[in-house]
Structure 1
Amino acid sequence: MTQVEAYAALGPGQPLVPWSYEIQQLQPNEVLVRVRACGICHSDVHMIDNDWGFARYPLVPGHEVVGEVVAVGPLVTHLSPGMRVGIGWQRSSCGQCEDCLRGQDHLCDQSQGVITHGHGGFASHLAVDARYCFPLPNELPTEAAGPLLCGGITVYSALRAAGMGSGLRIGIIGMGGLGHMAIQFASRLGNHVTAFTTTEAKAREAAQLGAHDAILIRNDQPSRRPDRPLHIILNTAPVPTPVEPYLDLLASDGVLCYVGAPTAPISVPIFPLLVKRRRIMGSPIGSRATILEMLENAARFGVLPRVETFPMSKVNDALNRVRQNQVRYRAVLLA
Structure 2
Amino acid sequence: MMMRRAYAVEQAGGPVRVHEYEPAPLGPLEVEVRVTHCGICHTDLAMIDDEWGIARFPVVAGHEAVGVVEAVGEAVDPTRVTVGRRVGVGATAGSCFACEWCLSGRQQLCPAKDNVVVRGTGGAFASHVRAGDWRHVHPIPDAIASEHAGPFLCAGTTVFPPLLHHGVRPTDRVAVVGIGGLGHLAIQFLAKWGCHVTAISTTPAKRDDARRFGAHDFVATTEAPGLERVSNSFDFVLSTVSADLPWDAYLATLRPRGTLCVVGLPSGALTISPLSLLPGERTIVGGVTGSPTETRQMLDFAARHDIRPMVEIFPAARMDEALDHVRRGRAHYRAVLEL
* Same structural fold, with TM-score higher than 0.5 when normalized by the shorter chain: yes
Deviations 1:201-226 (Å, cap 9, x if unpaired)? 21111011000000110289834423
Q: Which runs of 4+ in 1 moved over 6 A?
A: none
Deviations 1:26-55 (Å, cap 9, x if unpaired)? 101011111110011111100111222222
Say yes or no: does 1:28 pair with 2:28. Answer: yes
Say yes or no: does 1:128 pair with 2:131. Answer: yes
Q: Which amino acid aligns with 2:34?
A: R
Equivalent of 1:147 in 148, 151, 161:
151
* Alignment-derived partner of residue 256 in structure 1: 260
1:159 touches 1:234 (CA, 8 Å); kept in 2?
no
Unaligned runs of 5+ in 2: none
What is the TM-score of this pair, normalised by structure 1?
A: 0.96
> 2:231 & 2:326 partners in 1: Cα distance?
35
SS at structure 2 position matched to 1:112? coil
2:66 touches 2:86 (CA, 8 Å); kept in 1?
yes
2:244 touches 2:266 (CA, 8 Å); kept in 1?
yes
Q: CA RMSD in A?
A: 1.6
Say yes or no: does 1:138 pair with 2:174. Answer: no
Change (3 A) 1:277 1:228: closer
TM superposition shift of 1:2: 3.3
TM superposition shift of 1:200: 2.7
> 1:70 & 1:300 partners in 2: Cα distance?
28
SS at structure 2 position matched to 1:253? strand
Say yes or no: does 1:37 pair with 2:34. Answer: no
TM superposition shift of 1:107: 0.8
Unaligned runs of 5+ in 1: none
TM superposition shift of 1:115: 4.1
Equivalent of 2:97 in 68, 85, 95:
95
Map 1:158-197 to 2 at 5 A.
158-197=162-201
Taking only the aligned residue pairs, the percentage that are identical comes to 41
Deviations 1:161-191 (Å, cap 9, x if unpaired)? 2322322111001111111010000001111
TM superposition shift of 1:228: 6.7
1:220 touches 1:241 (CA, 8 Å); kept in 2?
no
Map 1:1-335 to 2 at 5 A.
1-77=1-77, 78-117=80-119, 118-129=121-132, 130-218=134-222, 222-226=226-230, 229-335=233-339
> 1:30 & 1:149 partners in 2: Cα distance?
18
> 1:57 & 1:247 partners in 2: Cα distance?
40
SS at structure 2 position matched to 1:116? helix
2:160 touches 2:189 (CA, 8 Å); kept in 1?
yes
Change (3 A) 1:100 1:260: same
1:311 touches 1:334 (CA, 8 Å); kept in 2?
yes
> 2:24 & 2:55 partners in 1: Cα distance?
23
Change (3 A) 1:21 1:219: farther
Change (3 A) 1:220 1:74: farther
TM superposition shift of 1:121: 1.0
What is the TM-score of this pair, normalised by structure 2?
A: 0.95
